[in-house]
């Protein structure tokens, strides 16, 4: 079985307060985009083997793919195994959720390959044990994330727009971003809730959304602001940093404008990709490339 593990951006992110468990209470709009890692799964009698370029991402137990496979095998309660190949294309440390997406696709694919039979809700509960973004990648599309970001509610409004993604040559640690975050006393903003419940098109509501973590990037803040300004100057409707950074994206009115903007940025030596968001329907159709076939052909 082959799978595509798609990246995400945060169309908006609000940090409300620090919780008693040490995490932060979040409100965020999560959105899958058409940039992905590739994974290949082959069933084996036992043992979990991960083939990955360890110069790009760590292998073994440090990798969420291995941890996801072992967690599912433990819950199954019988001897199973798999060889997994990971072709890493989503840059690490850019706020795009690549590791969490890899873990989610591992749970989804092996649930079928091993004939485990867990429901979507069961997989989401397992995913939450691996990371806060993992449950979202079992849904995809446009979704509201609350709590630590791991309580996910798919939205009726599915955003389908061209975007340009800037991938800076520096990474930002999520933990470091939250350590640098300064929370100010304020009433919880209703912008995200308004967007989530709105029947307006995405472009109408998106310019109102913000990312509270941008201010926590500190040493990279000037670069983040410059990337945002560049995208807006090139015609983006709105531009934000994704998650804890460092990726910055801009939403465009049409694909041709986005492609032109990406070319302009590349000419200036800035790594930029013209792509688009994925709705939940498209995401479900594309994430698994091959389905296991039972002996009777069912």
Residue 162's nearest CA partner among 36, 239, 255, 272 is 255
Q: Is the predicted pLDDT of residue 199 greater than 70, yes or no? A: no
For 149-189, the pLDDT digits (tens) are 778 999 988 999 999 999 999 887 767 666 766 665 555 55
From 8, 88, 212, 228, the catalytic residue:
8
Give the tens place of pLDDT for each residue, 216-225. Answer: 777 788 999 9
Mean pLDDT of the chain: 87
Give the structural domain span for 242.
162-280
Say whether both 75 and 99 belong to one domain: yes
Classify residue 108: in a domain, yes or no.
Answer: yes
Q: Residues 248-298: pLDDT tens digits?
A: 999 999 999 999 999 999 999 999 999 999 999 999 999 998 655 444 443
CATH of the domain at 71: 3.30.230.10
* Residue 289 resides in a domain: no
Choosing from 34, 37, 102, 133, the catalytic residue is 133
For residue 208, how many C-alpha atoms fall within 13 Å in the half-sphere facing its CB?
A: 15
Active site residue 88: no
Residues 112 and 166 in one domain: no
8 classed as catalytic: yes
pTM: 0.89
What is d(CA 272, CA 265) in angstroms, rounded to the nearest whole number?
Answer: 6
Q: pLDDT at position 298, please?
A: 39
Domain boundary among 102, 121, 155: 155
The total domain count for the chain is: 2
Do the domain assignments include residue 298? Answer: no
Q: Closest Cα to residue 218, out of 250, 180, 182, 244?
A: 180
Rounded percentage of the chain residues whose pLDDT exceeds 90: 63
183 and 142 within one domain: no
**Is the confidence at residue 210, as pLDDT, over 90?**
no
288 DSSP 8-state letter: B
Residues 66 and 148 in one domain: yes
């Amino acid at each position: 079985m082959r799978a595509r593990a798609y990246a995400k951006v945060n169309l908006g992110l609000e940090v409300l307060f620090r919780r008693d468990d040490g995490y932060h209470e979040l409100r965020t709009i999560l959105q899958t985009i058409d940039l992905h890692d590739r994974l290949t799964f082959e069933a084996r009698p036992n043992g979990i083997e991960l083939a990955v370029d360890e110069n790009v991402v760590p292998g073994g137990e440090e990798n969420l793919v291995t941890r996801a496979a072992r967690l599912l095998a433990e819950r199954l309660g019988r001897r199973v195994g798999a060889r997994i190949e990971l072709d890493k294309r989503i840059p690490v440390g850019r706020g795009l959720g690549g590791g969490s997406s890899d873990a989610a696709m591992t749970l989804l694919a092996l649930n079928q390959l091993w004939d485990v039979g867990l429901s979507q809700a069961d997989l989401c509960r397992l995913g939450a044990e691996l990371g806060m973004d993992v449950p979202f990648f079992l849904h995809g599309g446009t979704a509201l994330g609350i709590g630590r970001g791991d309580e996910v509610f798919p939205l009726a409004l599915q955003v389908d727009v061209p975007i340009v993604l800037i991938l800076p040559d520096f990474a930002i640690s999520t933990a470091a971003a939250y350590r640098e975050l300064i929370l100010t006393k304020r009433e919880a903003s209703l912008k995200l809730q308004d967007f989530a419940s709105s029947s307006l098109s995405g472009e109408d509501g998106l310019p109102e959304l913000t990312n509270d973590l941008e201010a926590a990037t500190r040493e990279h803040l000037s670069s983040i602001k410059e990337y945002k300004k560049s995208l807006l100057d090139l015609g983006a409707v709105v531009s934000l940093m994704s998650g804890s950074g460092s990726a910055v994206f801009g939403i465009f009115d049409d694909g041709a404008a986005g492609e032109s903007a990406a070319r302009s940025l590349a000419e200036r030596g800035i790594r930029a990709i013209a792509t688009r968001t994925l709705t939940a329907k498209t995401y479900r159709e594309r994430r698994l490339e091959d389905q296991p076939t039972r002996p009777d052909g069912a």
